[in-house]
Amino acid sequence: MTADPAAPILMFDSGVGGLSVLGKVRAVLPQAPVMYVSDNAGLPYGSKTEAQIAARVSGLLGRMTERYRPRLVCIACNTASTIALASVREVLEVPIVGTVPAIKPAAAMTRTGVIGLLGTAATIRQGYVDRLEAEFAADKHLLRHGAPELVAAAEAKLRGQPVDPAVFAQAAATLRAMPGGQRIDTVVLACTHFPLLEEELAAAFGPGVRFIDGSDGIARRIAFLTEGQEWARHAGPDREADAGDLALFTKNDPTDEALMPVLKRYGLLRRLVF
């Protein structure tokens, strides 16, 4: 059991995508103090090399856990998890919960046997995804598409900026155009940004398509790992995390001020730059 009831759950993502996971965590652990970290200085991750991502994520989480002493770290980012999860677990001495594409539940859901997978370019090329497919969907047809434009669309949407509907139509059309793509009935949202766009994606894919992501499983895992622990929020002059739930950004971007209404809806009442 953690010694400090105010020790937060640290949730880490390249941007706002991890909010889709935070929403599910709030549902099962409403009393838990949370520190949400957006590495907006490193966004987007999908265009970076594996070495760049592994070094950046390990370094940032090392410094942040040393400073803020979380009870658990959730890497709420598929790209960071599929690349850096093992190295982060070697470095940190707190429980680490990662995010992986929800291929297993998708394989159980599909009726046609054809599954679409939307992720970043970095995620869809990982051997980790190959292994998930081989283990859980070997008898299915998995079609992958890297759609970095959807990351930008989610970031814009949460800031109240206009998003071109053609972005969603293009993602759907690309998967549909692949061999067997017309039979897709299940789509794995393999980037935590993408559930924030489910309504728009559903309209683009049309009726008969269901979407799945890993957020429910992540929330259950965090609840299991923290079962029986005490939770508290209290103000204190010595630790920034004590005053309530905090959104921490790695770059001072003026457009992030437009995120405050959304952050507050997720219970993140303050925004600071790390």
Give the active site residues: 77, 191
Eight-state DSSP code of residue 81: H
Q: Where are the beta strands (DSSP E) in 120-269?
A: 141-146, 186-189, 210-212, 246-249
Whole-Å CA distances, 228 to 145, 152, 165, 244: 41, 39, 46, 21
Angle at 269 between CA 265 and CA 273, to 5 degrees: 120
Q: In the block, which residue shows the tokens 């929403």?
A: 23
Using only the alpha carbons of the chain, give its radius of gyration. 18
Gap between the Cα atoms of 110 and 121, Å rounded: 24
